[in-house]
């Protein structure tokens, strides 16, 4: 191990400990009625962006080619039973996926503690949860539904696990990315929060772009249905809770090597070079950013 990488891992460990202690102290002070250090969103963001900045560079990994299955036998039923083509409408790949997300996000009740007992495919999950507030599902399952809908329409789409820094934090998040040919890049969709992310010009962003902007404290914001896109600063303030939550979960990512019905495939991770891991399947940043064509 080089001196540089060893120092980086030490810094990461120190930052993790400081962050954990700061949050615990913040909670204690709030409960005791005292003023706390982390009392504003800006202060929390400074901590989160610092963690991302110190994890900015990714480790070397495999240049794998993702596989996207567009001809699964379950797609015709999914398309016809849930009017997927009609809801997606016309437009770019991003616009079609956005229409699907806006339609189904509010109809899928969120349950963080859902135990994943329903088979991991869109047809089974929709039958169980759609328009049923008593049978909620979590972000991983919602992302699976949107992913299969997009694949059924011939849109390159993938699920992405976005992960926190602390090994004691078991709360991660799962989102989607679709390849938009007009933008010539990946774009993130968060069906759980019914949001996409944009820069100050309104350009939709990928997971990696959001992470980079967070680390460098450059402007980006989640965008909800109905937000006033003439005022992105106001949008960010309005959606600050989701902003901070996503930034917390941007330290490393997990991907499947094959995207189809279900998710019984190899999991690859895109991991910072200063993060200690002995995981076998490491993917390169270039593989994640590359065109699926």
- 228-245: per-residue pLDDT in tens? 999 999 999 999 999 999
pLDDT at 264: 85
Q: 């809770």: which residue's tokens?
A: 241
H or E element that contains 6: helix 3-32
230-258: b or e for each residue (b if 16 or more CB lie within 10 Å)? eebeebbebbbebbebbbbbbbbbbbbee
pLDDT at 241: 95
- Distance of alpha carbon 247 from alpha carbon 117, whole angstroms: 29
Closest CA to 250 of 225, 229, 272, 226: 272
Q: For residue 108, what are the CA distances in angstroms to 23, 30, 130, 132?
A: 31, 34, 5, 7
- 44-73: per-residue pLDDT in tens? 999 999 999 999 999 999 999 999 999 999
Kindly list the domain boundaries of the chain, sorted by start residue.
Answer: 3-54, 67-289
Q: Quick one: fold of 67-289? A: C8orf32 fold (3.10.620)
135: left (phi over 0), alpha (psi -120 to 50) or beta: beta
Closest CA to 207 of 269, 162, 255, 266: 162
Average pLDDT along the chain, 293 residues, taken 10 residues at a time: 47 50 55 65 94 97 97 98 98 98 98 95 98 97 98 98 93 97 98 98 97 98 96 94 97 98 94 94 98 96
Task: Find the angle CA(20)-CA(12)-CA(208) to the nearest 5 degrees.
Answer: 100
Chain length of the chain: 293
Parallel/antiparallel/unpaired status of strands 185-190 and 157-163: unpaired
pLDDT at 24: 54
pLDDT at 5: 45
The Cβ of residue 134 has, within 10 Å, a number of other Cβ atoms equal to 7
């Amino acid at each position: 191990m080089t001196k540089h990488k060893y120092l980086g891992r030490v810094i990461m460990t120190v930052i993790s400990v400081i962050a954990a202690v700061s949050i615990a102290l913040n909670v204690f002070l709030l409960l005791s009625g005292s003023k706390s250090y982390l009392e504003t969103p800006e202060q929390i963001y400074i901590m989160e962006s610092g963690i991302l900045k110190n994890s900015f560079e990714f480790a070397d990994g495999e240049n794998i080619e993702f596989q996207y299955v567009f001809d699964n036998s379950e797609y015709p039923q999914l398309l016809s039973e849930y009017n997927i083509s009609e809801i997606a409408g016309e437009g770019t790949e991003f616009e079609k996926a956005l229409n699907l997300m806006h339609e189904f996000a509010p109809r899928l009740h969120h349950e963080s503690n859902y135990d994943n007992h329903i088979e991991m495919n869109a047809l089974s999950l929709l039958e169980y949860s759609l328009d049923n507030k008593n049978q909620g599902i979590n972000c991983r399952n919602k992302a699976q539904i949107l992913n299969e809908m997009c694949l059924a329409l011939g849109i390159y789409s993938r699920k992405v696990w976005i992960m926190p820094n602390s090994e004691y934090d078991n709360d991660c998040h799962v989102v989607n990315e679709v390849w938009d040919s007009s933008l010539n890049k990946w774009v993130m969709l968060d069906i759980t929060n019914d949001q996409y992310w944009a820069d100050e010009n309104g350009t939709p962003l990928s997971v990696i772009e959001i992470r980079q902007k967070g680390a460098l404290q450059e402007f980006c914001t989640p965008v909800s249905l109905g937000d006033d896109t003439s005022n992105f600063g106001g949008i960010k303030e309005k959606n600050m809770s989701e902003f901070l939550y996503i930034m917390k979960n941007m330290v490393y990512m997990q991907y499947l090597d094959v995207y189809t019905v279900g998710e019984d495939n190899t999991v690859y991770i895109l991991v910072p070079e200063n993060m200690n891991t002995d995981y076998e399947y490491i993917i390169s940043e270039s593989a994640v950013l590359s065109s699926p064509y």
